[in-house]
Homo-oligomer: A and B are copies of this chain.
Amino acid sequence: MAPSILISEVGPRDGLQSIATTMPTAHKLRWVDALVAAGLREIEVGSFVPAKLLPQMADVAEVVRHAVARHPHITVMALAPNLRGAEAALQAGAHKVTLPVSASEAHSLANVRKTPAAMVQELQAVVQLRAATAPQALIEVGLSTAFGCTLQGAVPEDDVIRLAVQCAEAGVDEVGLSDTTGMANPAQVRRLFTRLRGELGPKAGAAHMHNTRGLGLANCLAAYDVGVRTFDASQGGLGGCPYAPGASGNVVTEDLVFMFEAMGIDTGVDYNLLMAAREALQAGLPDEPLYGMTPLAGLPKGWQPAA
């Protein structure tokens, strides 16, 4: 039986680009292999940005080529902030390209130096490029600051939904909502994903939640309750220290897998093999603290996975 939900591992991109240390390429490949062995079926393996901006991602094309060659049965995803990045990602063979589009204009200008409207035009160009060069590839949008912005404060829900519709109309395959700054709450998550699914139908995408204020799992539960079935998470909570002010603090993959499996919801991920992947991650970043409550506490006595 197919797993009930898809956990999309973003650690090799969102996690590794957020820390100062650069993980050696060989370790990245071993970590990705270990994640696949644990049952992760979608992995965001890197970001196509200039190496001078993010030296941690200088080897992204090599990582993508390794992953698609070794693991053709999973979805190898890469982030691209613009058309040029998307072109490189498709050339490297990425199965899926994800583009960040900010719902907050202030964040959009700070993050990609474009307005949201200009990013929608960029999406159209990416969709045309995809049709011409790699028609089998998927294009995803993650709507950043969909639940609030540290620069702008509250982001009107109507703005978020309107922008999501514009992205879908630009021809992308999925539009997810990202709690970039850890401001989401479960009531808001239910409202926004309910509207998103109502407007976009099967193009409504992943919940990308952060744990900045401890609500990451509660927000994932809320998203699940209204029908979301794809959840971004980062192994070891990489992506900013969750215990420091202003940290990004991605939802920890280990804790998310534990929660859903304990609920009887099959993630397709083997918790013990996920712990082996955690060791591969730690081996590649020996000085970096990894987070996660379940890894510290261990599985409960009498634990049974969902499937």
A246 to chain B, nearest CB (A): 7
A300 to B181, CA, bound (A): 9
Q: Is the CB of B301 within 8 A of A215?
A: no
Interface of A is mostly: loop
Q: In the complex, what residues of B have CB within 8 A of residue A245's CB? A: 296-298
Interface size on A (CB < 8 Å)?
Answer: 49
CA distance A255 to B244 in the complex (A): 15
Q: In the complex, A238→B123 CA distance in Å?
A: 49
How many monomers of this protein are in the complex?
2
Q: A217-B214, A217-B215, A217-B218 are in contact. Are A148 and B302 (CB under 8 A)?
A: yes
From A8-16, A194-202, A258-266, A277-285, give the one contacting chain B.
Answer: A258-266
- Shortest distance between the CB of A180 and any CB in chain B (Å): 12
Q: Say how far A87's CB is from chain B's closest CB, in angstroms.
A: 36
Cα A111 to Cα B35 with chains together (Å): 41
The answer on a CB contact under 8 Å between A294 and B213 is yes
Q: Give chain A's interface residues, CB within 8 Å of chain B.
A: 148-154, 181-183, 185-188, 211-215, 217-218, 220-222, 225, 242-247, 249, 252, 255, 258-259, 262-265, 292-294, 296-298, 300-302
